[in-house]
Structure 1
């Protein structure tokens, strides 16, 4: 392109047109070149632009000379460049020839080595075959060794594990022992897989070996556990975690498990008996608490302290057993605990029974006997709630003492009642309760109060209440009836009301007495009716209406007018009404003296009110008879100048 540009840069002079002819624009070379140059789009011709840039590096002076020599300069530069390329490619050729020589040498060396290797391979073929066989045999033996190691690891114990299981008698049991024992059990179970394969002989031998090892291990474990249980003879004992693990392991051997529990129960039984005797006679460490025997003068506290100690001991022994058997998973663990607790507590039954019998037989009094009976019942219920009915001997002893105290208590009440009947007192002058009644009610109040505060079950308390009330109230009622049998009607009714009222107020403070209160209320109302009638008769007699009212009651219509009777004439009625008016002016003046002896003001008011109603009813009947024309009273208003309503208003 530079050369082409050189051609256009210095064009030859155009030929002159023929004279007389104009030059054709299409045939003029200069015009064509100019047009071609003018039509060239340098912006889109990258090669042209690159050529111009290269030209600008050596075409520095734009003169006529340089333009004319531009073609030669470009050709000379092109020649120099080509010569430089030839020189460089010559060096490359020489290097390639050197490399080719090296490659040829390497090829010859490789061919030589291949020949030598081929010869060596032919010579060592047998050795390679033998080596391959030996390598395969080695891999097979290594696999067998791995299988053997895995078999031994799965179906055999390590020497350390064997030493743990076969340790000496004096060597202690540790947690590692139970891990080894668990390993033996696992091997014994896993070896059953071999019995289903071609390795039955090995399986049987391993199973027999593990079975013998298990028996040896369990025997050693049982001896150690037995010795541990024999050392638990202190009043308070700590159950070690290893002992709990030992019981968990021994559960697979029911006989050894049972023997161990028996050994524990025997050791703890002697500890509990010794602790109970020490609590009775020596007290606690340093004298605190004091010996229980020091309170033998207080029967209730004496019995209560013994039972409280046993209750605490029973609960503690159950906790010890629960701690020892907490890991045992076989059925019947709770029954085992209850059975052993029953065996442990059986030893204290004899000393407990002797001491409680001494207290009961000494008859400290009905109230104390009843409190002791309730105390025994409460602890029977409480201890049975802890250990169920398994501690049969202890619970039976407590129940026997409860029944004995209850029997002597009711014997005491019966003796007291028989004494009441043997010597019946006369009612006091004020017709109040007799001293025997007051004493008996005080006794009953103390008994019921102690019963009310007891914590025995509700149904048992209700049954005892009924029996106590029957044993005391029935003789009391009979005594009061016999005591009042020689009194007059009003005196007897007053005495009985006061006595029954005292009984009722005593029972009203306690539960389960509703039926008895209802019965006493019926009897009180019966005697109240007597007093009401007596008070009404007393008023009618003192007010002058008794005889008139009786005549009115006995009169019949066929006897003629009422005014014809001698005691029912107008004059007699006016005299009686004058006396009745004096009563109306001061109704309180006509009260029986017995009413002032009543203990209850409410009862007294009730008697006065209802007796007044009877008086008003009698006056109403008399008023109706006098106002009746058939009785032929003249001016009846002058005889009875007050209507029944007026009389009722005055008396109310």
Structure 2
């Protein structure tokens, strides 16, 4: 019931003319006022509770505001920390990228200056087999050593890295060339020392080509080869010479005898030249060829001198022409020292 309704009710009671008793009016008014007072009291109590609720809510709002400010502060710190963390991650990422780049450079450096394990085993094996895998491994090893030479300073002072690479590869280097050296000497002993006509194998050619990078071993190998060929040619020449002397009399037919000697020399010198050209390819053969023919030419010279000394007839001019012909032919086709010496002052 609203206050306005209560007041209207009181006014209504005051105006009642039907009520006989004034006390009844007063009692009713008192009861109404008491009810109004009770309702007002209840209203005030509820209002107090509402105020206390508002105060409590205000405190809660204050607490929430404090919490929000704390959360905001924490969030700001988190954002700042996250920014710092992002910078650190970016720095770490850059460091990782730099490290990976350096690692790739190191791996490339190692690949340039390290012989693959398989090729190391081929060279360092205890057997003396020489084949193309060994030559390929040696080629790669020489590239590594050549690259190490590039590490030298402009003044020529070796760097520590260059010395380490050259030192660590020296054992394999010597082992590979030692194998090729022994292999070629063995091949020369069993093939080139027994037959004047030899089918030159590509592996022999390539092995000699590799060995030429070690000049000392290369020259020693050629010396061994020319010694074998010199003895073989001399043996065949002595056999042929005995046949010439059985068939031809140096005194009665010196021209034919001399022609047989010089024709034999011409043929075998040409064959020996072709053999050395096939074996040595583009490398000089003159010294090796002269060494191979040395014994034969030194044995032919006194024979030709003897034919001159014993020939007092008109045929001496024919002998001179014959010797002159072979001199021109041989010195042009076989331009080596022993051939020139053969015809000097003959």
Instruction: State how far apart, in whole Å, the 2-side matches of 1:344 and 1:217 are.
Output: 28
CA contact under 8 A between 2:129 and 2:179: conserved in structure 1? Answer: no
Q: Aligned-pair distance for 1:305?
A: 1.7
Is the Cα–Cα contact under 8 Å of residues 287 and 336 in structure 2 kept in the other structure? no
Partner of 1:164: 122
| Equivalent of 1:342 in 278, 290, 306 | 290
Whether 1:311 aligns to 2:266 is: yes
Cα distance in structure 2, aligned partners of 1:169 and 1:271:
30
Match of 1:269 among 206, 230, 246: 230
Contact 1:295–1:301 at 8 Å: present in 2 too?
A: no
* d(CA) in 1 for partners of 2:325, 2:132: 44
Deviations 1:564-603 (A, max 9, x none): xxxxxxxxxxxxxxxxxxxxxxxxxxxxxxxxxxxxxxxx
Partner of 2:168: 209
Aligned to 1:496: none
Give the C-alpha shift of residue 200 in structure 1: 4.4
SS at match of 2:337: coil
> Residue 250 of structure 1 contacts residue 256 of structure 1 at CA under 8 Å; is this kept in 2?
yes
SS of equivalent to 2:129? coil
Who is 1:220 aligned against? 179
1:175 to 126, 132, 138: 132
Equivalent pair of 2:128/2:179 in contact (CA under 8 Å): no
CA deviations on 1:283-329 (whole Å, 9 max, x unpaired) are xxxxxxxx44453145433321221011111112222222222244x
Secondary structure (helix, strand or coil) at the match of 2:315 reads helix
Question: How far apart, in 1, do the equivalents of 2:340 and 2:94 lie?
Answer: 81
Q: The residue matched to 1:366 in structure 2 has which SS?
A: coil
Larger radius of gyration: 1
Shift of 1:342: 2.1
**Is contact 1:195–1:204 with CA below 8 Å preserved after alignment?**
no
Find out whether 1:376 has 2:333 as its counterpart. Answer: no
* CA shift in 2, pair 1:146/1:374, >3 Å: same
Q: 1:458 maps to what in 2?
A: none
Partner residue of 2:113? Answer: 155
- Structure that is richer in helix per residue: 2
1:295 matches 2:247: yes
Contact 1:191 1:207 in 2 (8 A): yes
Q: Could you tell me how far apart the structure 2 residues matched to 1:131 and 1:350 are?
A: 87
* Mapped contact 1:175–1:242 kept (Cα < 8 A): yes
Deviations 1:388-416 (A, max 9, x none): 2511xx5444556x4xxxxxxxxxxxxxx
Matched position secondary structure for 1:340: helix
SS of match in other structure, 1:370: helix
SS of the residue corresponding to residue 276 of structure 2 reads helix
Name segments (4+ residues, structure 1) moved above 6 Å.
128-138
Change (3 A) 1:372 1:295: farther
* Separation in 2, partners of 1:395, 1:141: 69
2:289/2:336 contact within 8 Å kept? no
Q: CA deviation at 1:352?
A: 3.1
* Offset at residue 183 of structure 1 (A): 1.8
Which residue in 1 is equivalent to 2:141? 184
Does the CA-based 8 Å contact 1:376-1:399 persist in structure 2? Answer: no
Q: Is the 8 A contact 1:349 1:397 kept in 2?
A: yes
Q: CA separation of 1:269/1:186 partners in 2, compared to 1, >3 Å: closer, same or farther? A: same
- Contact 1:243 1:324 (C-alpha < 8 Å) held by counterparts: yes
Deviation at 1:274, TM superposition (A): 1.8
Q: Describe the shift of the 1:201–1:396 C-alpha distance in structure 2 as closer, same or farther (beyond 3 A).
A: closer
Within 2, Cα distance between the matches of 1:260 and 1:342? 16
**Cα distance change of structure 1 residues 131 and 270 upon mapping to structure 2, 3 Å threshold:** same
Structure 1 unmatched ranges of 5 or more: 1-117, 282-290, 403-652
* Greater relative CO, 1 or 2 (CA 8 Å, sep 6+): 2
TM-score (norm 2): 0.62
Closer, same or farther: CA 242–350 of 1 in aligned 2, 3 Å:
same
Q: Determine if contact 2:208/2:280 at 8 Å carries over to the other structure.
A: yes
Per the normalisation by structure 1, the TM-score is 0.35
TM-superposition CA deviations, 1:102-155 (whole Å, max 9, x none): xxxxxxxxxxxxxxxx9xx99xx79x9799898777766654553343222111
Counterpart of 1:386 in structure 2 is 333
